[in-house]
Structure 1
């Protein structure tokens, strides 16, 4: 009986191969009895891929340039004129090396002819095994949850900045114009509770498009205001050693965390590569796209960061558009902050929808007979198509947004929150897993020259991540206690 079942199983797998459908994935030990996790999405080999080098560049730049750009002037101010730009270039080089290694993991076991890995976790599962997948997944989804907290903090700061900007315009730059954060965070949380009921990514392309346009608007405005301020001053401020401080070490570590937050895009790299047509091989196209995107992003970051520091010197605010180094034209400040709000409303969903899909798919598979999870209701909304939902989706997504809003209200500190997230994400997802998968893909022997070189590279990046993490956590605690 077992032999008959084995033959049937083999034949079914052969049929799936001929039709180009998803197969059972095999872990690195070669066992053919392990199945893909029920929580992962099915692969569709019939998708028509039309992506090119330049569409990939556009995807990467859209994903990378975001709220992190607003903290770069402050980061350069903590590091100084030499170390600041140097560290940004160093992070760009590290990100480029990592992206090259990760690009080769799109197909396994051969980077050109192997089976496609449509997501980051799929690549980890195939190359490193199931235990590493759980670690990777925990870090990845914790980072996605943290992004929601960071976006809540950033949005409330921008909403408050609009009110303060109008106040300064009416009453003068010396007016108090102080407002709290909590009300704005609650308003943002309410908006996200509504937006979170969007079923999935396929129903929110319009929101992502608007968010991308907004990110370019406020980043360009910040850059332009910095240039205008330098011209107005008639000179560039700043020093080689950066801002003098009794907490210099902690500030430097937070600055490194903020730069780390602004750069890596490892979580979406394989998803972008999955859109690329072939021939030529996808990894070759992706490497070109990564190099071009990182070069463009670095140039943009250096312009924003350096001109921001040159405009304000040691008085550079933590957030270039909300720290009120700029007061006029007030309407442009208001517009830039409004762009931030609109961008982060969409950005919150971009980072939250994968968590929603993962949890709901897991619980749906684990409890197939639970009406609370599987019973759908149709709601008719005037002027809109009928909306289908269930009680679990409403309750879970509402609780998710409420928890991230609550944590943001406890720690409403822009630079420190970005530093913590940058440090947590940088080493494991950008360095460790790509290096380990590269060893498996290229069959790198232990203690060979390449193995020693890449392990040393990984250890140095680990030290930088830990240094940034400790400093950013210290900053969070200090701000909370003060």
Structure 2
């Protein structure tokens, strides 16, 4: 049987209590910045494609459903930060694995840790590949601008993957999320910037077309199996757009007290999820309305837009910085 709040291991509780002397300066708005930095990433501009696969009804409902699931999960997990009482402790669990260990035992902590590492591994691959594609897209946008949209502008992204991977290794060694609040604030601003870029260009295209494209059933396919596959991919992309629960406790560990960290974290989660979901719905809806069945996997990497090329370039330069902050937890 795993450990419970009534049967804490004394040395562990003493170590957690001793750690409470560390000065934490985070507040509601720094937590919101950390969360938005973790949530609004490359998935924001792929939501138009996901909406296209699901249609006008199922697409927005899927976004709202995953947002609700993430919010409930964040509320439950935020109560696991302090031990044994969620508000008064006195022990602190500084990571998800430590919280599982204290609550459910070492064996379950190993099992959960295994799946967490797989998730982080997959996320790191996704961002490495996406960032390389983004950097390649900058060169393509410049090439198309100079040579025309029909030019053979093809570039390899292997070197960009290697460079970004090296940067991730270096930056992942940064200690103490509490000391990089400025970076999350900066990255959150960039996240909103490229969300506005996608949203604005989608809206402009709808206005230019004079009508909204798309259908209730989404993209039509030649077989039900193909449709099921595309719907599954769309749901997966939407689920990937709400990943911050993996770093929730690390963010909560930056918060000062009083008030109790769990109260601040729940407020921050509510604000951040509400804001990001609002942007997700707008980006997904206007992107689908602009291109209909021809919606690309990413509004900019798929070159749904060629011009203005300088805006495309600015978007990618911003987006390539933001994923680095995901690695800046406690080493």
Map of 1:240 onto structure 2: 216
Q: Matched residues in 1 for 2:64 and 2:229: separation?
A: 21
Q: Deviations over 1:375-430 (max 9, x none)?
A: xxxxxxxxxxxxxxxxxxxxxxxxxxxxxxxxxxxxxxxxxxxxxxxxxxxxxxxx
Map of 1:82 onto structure 2: 57
Q: Do 1:148 and 1:352's aligned partners in 2 also have CA atoms closer than 8 Å?
A: no
Could you list the runs of 5+ residues in structure 2 that have no partner in the other structure? Answer: none
Map of 1:105 onto structure 2: 80
Map of 1:313 onto structure 2: 292
Task: Give TM-score, length-normalised by structure 1.
Answer: 0.61
RMSD, matched Cα: 2.8
Compared with structure 1, are the counterparts of its residues 212 and 61 closer, same or farther at alpha carbon in structure 2 (3 Å cutoff)? closer
Q: Matched residues in 2 for 1:152 and 1:30: separation?
A: 44
Q: Do 1:54 and 1:289's aligned partners in 2 also have CA atoms closer than 8 Å?
A: yes
Q: Is 1:169 matched with 2:148?
A: no
Q: Give 1:135 deviation, angstroms.
A: 1.2
Task: Give TM-score, length-normalised by structure 2.
Answer: 0.87
Give the SS at the match of 1:45.
Answer: helix
Map of 1:142 onto structure 2: 118
Q: Give 1:213 deviation, angstroms.
A: 3.8
Alignment of 1:382-401 (within 5 A): none
Q: Do 1:198 and 1:204's aligned partners in 2 also have CA atoms closer than 8 Å?
A: no
Match of 1:274 among 253, 256, 261: 253
Q: Give 1:190 deviation, angstroms.
A: 4.6
Q: Do 2:143 and 2:153's aligned partners in 1 also have CA atoms closer than 8 Å?
A: yes
Map of 1:325 onto structure 2: 304
Map of 1:28 onto structure 2: 4
Alignment of 1:208-223 (within 5 A): 210-223=186-199
Map of 1:299 onto structure 2: 278
Could you list the runs of 5+ residues in structure 1 that have no partner in the other structure? Answer: 1-25, 358-482
Compared with structure 1, are the counterparts of its residues 269 and 189 closer, same or farther at alpha carbon in structure 2 (3 Å cutoff)? closer
Q: Matched residues in 2 for 1:287 and 1:199: separation?
A: 26
Q: Is 1:58 matched with 2:33?
A: yes
Compared with structure 1, are the counterparts of its residues 43 and 320 closer, same or farther at alpha carbon in structure 2 (3 Å cutoff)? farther
Q: Deviations over 1:77-115 (max 9, x none)?
A: 110000000000011111111112112222233222333
Map of 1:434 onto structure 2: none
Map of 1:120 onto structure 2: 96
Tell me the matched-pair count.
324
Q: Give 1:320 deviation, angstroms.
A: 1.6
